[in-house]
């Protein structure tokens, strides 16, 4: 997925495979991550999932209910459609890219 600005420069915005369907709604997991990161600067976030099963990972302990309420309000998703997990650190490779396969394995446990 990409967009271009008024000068004609293209920017990569995400990957098509980072979309899931949750109760019939198309959910862009990259947008959810950015929404959370902009609203809660006290934590890092990453999302993984498959249809009707969104998993949100966050690094701040004890703030899950606050994030749940925010997600419900901003996205209209029902609480049963997503799970919030606390982890010490979002796994990233040496270039700083989030390691989604590692998070997916954690979500499946």
Token pair listed for 63: 């703030």
Whether residue 15 is predicted with pLDDT greater than 80 in this model: the reply is: no
Query: What domains can be seen in the chain, in order of their start residue?
Result: 20-107 (3.30.300.30)
Let me know: does 100 contact 108? Beta carbons within 8 Å: no
pLDDT digits (tens, 9 = 90+) for 48-103: 998 889 999 999 998 999 999 999 999 988 899 999 999 999 999 999 999 999 99
The pTM (predicted TM-score) of the whole model is 0.81
User: How much is the pLDDT for 14?
Assistant: 62
Let me know: does 29 contact 19? Beta carbons within 8 Å: yes
User: How much is the pLDDT for 51?
Assistant: 87
| Distance (Å, whole) CA 67 – CA 73 | 10
């Amino acid at each position: 997925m990409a967009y271009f600005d008024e000068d004609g420069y293209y920017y990569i915005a995400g990957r098509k495979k980072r979309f899931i369907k949750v109760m019939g709604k198309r959910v862009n997991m990259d947008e959810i991550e950015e929404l959370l990161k902009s609203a809660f600067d006290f934590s890092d976030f990453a999302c993984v999932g498959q249809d009707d099963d969104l998993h949100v990972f966050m690094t701040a302990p004890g703030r899950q209910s606050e994030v749940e309420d925010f997600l419900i309000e901003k996205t209209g998703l029902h609480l049963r459609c997503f799970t919030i997990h606390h982890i010490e650190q979002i796994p990233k490779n040496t270039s700083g890219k989030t390691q989604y396969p590692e998070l997916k394995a954690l979500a499946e446990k």
